[in-house]
Every structure is written in C-alpha cells, then in structure tokens.
Structure 1
Amino acid sequence: MLSRAARPALRAGAAASSRAVAAPQAATFATLREIEGRLKSIRNIEKITKTMKIVASTKLTRAQRAMSESRNYGQTGNQVYESAETKALEGEGKKKLVIVCSSDKGLCGGVHSGLSRFIRRRAVEDPNFDLVLLGEKAKAQLSRTNAKNIVLSFAGVGKDVPTFTEAQAIADQVVQVAGEYSDIEIVYNKFINATSYEPTVIAAFSEEALAASPNFAAFEVEESVLPNLREYALANSLYWALAEGHACEISARRNAMDNASKNAGEMISKYQILFNRTRQAVITGELVEIITGATASADM
C-alpha cells in the first residue's frame, strides 16, 4: 500500500494525465463544430450563387433583345458619319472627351476592370483627354489613377435594361460640359458571344467636326439644327453602348455565378469528407477509451 504522503502526489498525477487526454478531445470537438459551421456557410453561398445564375439567365434574353434593337440606332448614326467623311478636328490644346459606359453593379467578373485597364493604357499613350463616367464601378476604379481627368460622372446606371430616354438624358448633360473638345469617344464592352467581350470605341464627333465634313453639305442640314443633330446622334451612340454593355454584364454575371456555384460544390465535397473523417476519428477515440476503461475495471 502507498503511504499517505504519496497519495496526494498520485492524485495530482492522475488529474494531469486526465487533462492531457481531455485537451485533444476538446480540440477535436471544436474542430468538428468549426467544419460543420463552414459547411453550412458554403451551402448558403451555393444557394445564393445558383439563384443569381438563374436570375441572370432569365435577364440575358431580354438584354440581348434590347442590344439588337439599339444597334439600329447606333449603326445608323455611324453611317451618317461615314457618308459625310467626318473626322476629328486637329488642333493644339484640344482634348478628347471619353465617355466610359460602366454600371453600379458588381459580381460580374472583369467587365468593369477591363474598361478601366483600357483607359489606363490609353492614358499612358495619350493623356490629353477628359473623362465622363457612367456607373459607380468605373468611378471607383479610375478615381485612384485618373481622378484629375474626370469632369462628370453618373450614378444609378445599370439597374435595368437601358432605354433611349436614359441615353438622351445623359447626352443632354454631356453636351453642356464646358471645354474645347476635338471629338467625343464612347468606350464600352462589345458583346461578342455569351462568354467573351472586349472594350470598343464608338466615335461621336463635335459640331465643328460635323460642319467641317467634306460631304456633309449633301444632307442639306441647316446650321441652326446642327446642335440638335449632334445631341441626337450622341444619344443614339450612348444607347447602343449602354445596351450592349448591359448584355455583356448580365452574361458575365451568369458565368461568374456558374463558376462560383461549381467552386462551392467542390468545397462542400472536400469539407464533407473532412467532417466524416474527423467524426469517425472522434467515435473511434471514444470507443478506445470505453474499452480501455472497461478492461481496467475488469482487471481491478
């Protein structure tokens, strides 16, 4: 038998060994709860991304229809410029006015960042231009690098399919921008197919450039009507650019949500396997402890 002096030391050692065994078990249970919480979070995200994909797929048909209708407006205006052989005016100190057609919404891949990169590359080649930004996404990205070039910006763009009324309201504000500009360029995302797009430029000339066109006299347009014609042509081009950019955005959002749903599914599979293995390890550890305790009781 042990002496009374040795018994407290034995009890302290037994308590220390029990704490050492309990610590990994507690950590295992915490890990199980953590994995279960992550699984629940990822499943919720997967539900959201799948729903957003369905919504984007539903909107894409309507956006493509509006894009096809808007091309009739924009391409007709370009035919007038081509027939009149309109060119940008050249002169020292005259800038170009660049309109960037973006939107306020994200979660659509690199639609907006592609336009921003296009403007930054242009600024390196020729920094003599001012910016009009349509949408908060382009404004947030270009304000960090080209803030001094921004003269006008619009919010509330891209909430729904663009209309000619919205384009006309924007054109009315753009023509009132003070400054001597040689011409106007509209930068937008051109819809190539459901999976690809590219930044493209549409030319929208100034009144002086229209009046100086070699073949413009053949249209028999009075000088008093020239400002209205210029604003109407600008609205046509803006409507075309906004509608086509909207179709690109919806298509890119559908693809982005599809990829996000696939990635979430892969993560759920991995975490489910990890959860099952960890739970099996916990059950095995508990069985070992029960068997060991029963064997020790029987030996006593």
Structure 2
Amino acid sequence: MFRLGVNQIARTSGARNYATLREIEGRLKSIKNIEKITKTMKIVASTRLTRAQRAMTSSRVFNQSDKEFMENADPAKPEGAKSLLVVVSSDKGLCGSIHTQVAKAARRKVEELNGNVDIVALGDKVKAQLIRTHSEKLKLAFSGVGKEAPNFNEVALIVDEIQKLGKYENIEILYNRFVSAVSFDPAAFSVYAADAIEKAPGLSKYELEGDSVAETLSELSFANSLLSAMAEAYASETSARRNAMDNASKSAGDMINSYSILYNRTRQAVITNELVDIITGASSLE
C-alpha cells in the first residue's frame, strides 16, 4: 500500500512538477510511526515466545505419556461413526497465514470424513473462516482463547463444554504444530472414545480397577491432547507474529529510505526553482 503511495507521488510530480514537501513529510512521518509499532510488537512477541516454548515443552511430556499408553493399548478407531473436529486457533491477527492454513486443513479433513462431522472452533479467526463454508457443521465456538499460554484448568473447562454436545466415537483435534521458529505445520491428535479404549486388546497389560476407568482415560486423553494442541498453536502463532512484525519493520525501513530520497530530491528541486525565480526576477530589474 505504501509502495503504491511512493509511485503515486512520483507520477503526480510529473503532472504538477513536484509533490509538496508537506505531503511527503507527512507520509514519511506516518511510516516511521508504523515502524515503531511493528518493532515494539516484534519485541513483545519475542518475549512471549520464550514462555510459549516452555509451556509447549511441558505439554509435550504429558502428551507423550498418553501417546505411549494408547500405542500399548492399541484401541481401534471406529469406521463410519460421526466425528467431532476441534479446530484450535485464536482471536488475534497480524501473524501471517497461520489461521488460514489451519482453516484450510479443517476443510480438507471435513472432505476426508465425507461431511459426517461436527466442528468446534477455538478462536474467532478460524470461526470466521469456517462459518463461511461450513456454518451448518459448526456446533460450538470459543472466544477469548490463545491470549496467553494455556493451562490445564482452562482446558478442562473447554472439554467440559464440548462434552455437553454428546458422545462422539471419533474426536480429532486440529492445530498448528510448532516445527521451528520460522515454520509450522497443521497436524492432528486423535482421541479415542471410552468404548474403544475398553475394547482395546492391549488394555490387559495394565492393572486397572474400577468400572469407569475407560471413561476417565478417554476424558484425560482428550484434555491432555487439547492442552498440547493449544500450547503448540500458541507457540506457532507467537513465532509467526514475531516473524510478521520483523518483515513489516524491514519493509517500513525500505520505504523510509525511498521516501527520504524522494523528500531530499524534491526539496532540492524546490530550492533550485526558487533560486531560478530570484535570479530571473533580479535580471529583469537590471
């Protein structure tokens, strides 16, 4: 948008000799203010990224334990049953294409499941994108999430609300997996229902007591997977926002250089014209 402004001024200067210094100075001041904002947002994101990575590392420990248990128990995923797709995002923008990518992955997942799925959206960004194409499948949405690193109490409350929708034999949690400080990939966790865990052939390897063990394990697995997904998504979003603000700051710096050159050239031209007018006027008086 600002690069277009530079070109526009250059074209206008050809029509009316020179753009006014005040106009160029005003644009230059505006871009410098934007650069200050983007640099500040980059610093804030960099500070939050360290905390986000610590929370993500902690959540991976719980998720790894849950993953090892499910691999040993080896429950079977039911076929043909209605699925629940939980899409993890946030309410904030200015972080590149991170929300768009997870929304596209959610649409592909709906197609893979032949539309036999209900959707739960965590965050206003992904909700706004999915509601345009799958409004009839969006059963529940949460706002105010993703502002800080998630904690288990917050996740437990979200899981309780989701379970009020009813029982689903297949639950998948879609999120942005943190790969590195400059990359992320959409990924998914599968959560097994209590019936699938109870019928798992490897469950006999564990000494479990009680009638509702499978139900408890299913709920705990759901909460652990959602906690890990939200922590991964928060770290990915924070990293993406830092990179976006870094790129914006560099672009603003380039534009400041371009406008500074244009300002100096225009100022020199104005001074030259004034000198020419003075010399011409003095010559006419002789």
Answer whether TM exceeds 0.5 for this pair: yes
1:78 paired residue number: 67
Structure 1 match to 2:43: 54
**Distance between the aligned counterparts of 1:87 and 1:201, measured in 2?**
17
Q: State yes or no: 1:279 paired with 2:262.
A: no
Q: Distance in 1 between matches of 2:224 and 2:82?
A: 22
User: How far apart in 2 are the matches of 1:135 and 1:177?
Assistant: 18
The more displaced of 257-266 and 286-295 is 286-295
RMSD, aligned CA: 1.7
Identity of aligned residues (%): 53
Matched, 1:32 2:12: no
Unaligned runs of 5+ in 2: 1-12
Contact 1:28 1:278 in 2 (8 A): no
> What is the TM-score normalised by the length of structure 2?
0.90
Instruction: Give the one of 228, 237, 247 matched to 2:235.
Output: 247
> What's the counterpart of residue 7 of structure 1?
none
Per-residue CA deviation, residues 213-265 of structure 1 (Å, 9 max, x unaligned), is: 12223332433233222111111111111111111111111111100000000
- Match in the other structure for 1:177: 165
- Is contact 2:195-2:214 (8 Å) kept? no
1:185-238 deviation digits (Å, cap 9, x = unpaired): 011111111101100011111112212212223332433233222111111111
Matched residue, 1:14: none
More off after superposition, 289-298 vs 226-235: 226-235
Query: How many residues align structurally?
Result: 271
CA distance in 1, matches of 2:168, 2:37: 46
Q: Point out the more displaced range, 45-54 or 226-235.
A: 226-235
The AA in structure 1 aligned to 2:237 is E
Match of 1:292 in 2: 280
For the residues of structure 2 that align with 1:216 and 1:261, how far apart are their CA atoms? Answer: 55
Report if the CA contact (8 A) 1:28-1:282 is conserved: no
User: What amino acid maps onto 2:185 in structure 1?
Assistant: E
Q: Compute the displacement of 1:290 (Å).
A: 1.0
Residue 265 in structure 1 maps to residue 253 in structure 2: yes
* 1:120 is the counterpart of 2:107: yes
Deviation at 1:182, TM superposition (A): 2.5
How far does residue 28 in structure 1 lie from its aligned partner after superposition? Answer: 6.2
Q: 2:91 matched to which residue of 1?
A: 104
CA distance in 1, matches of 2:199, 2:156: 25
Contact in 2 for aligned 1:204/1:237 (Cα 8 Å): yes
Please give the secondary structure, in 2, of the residue aligned with 1:145. Answer: helix
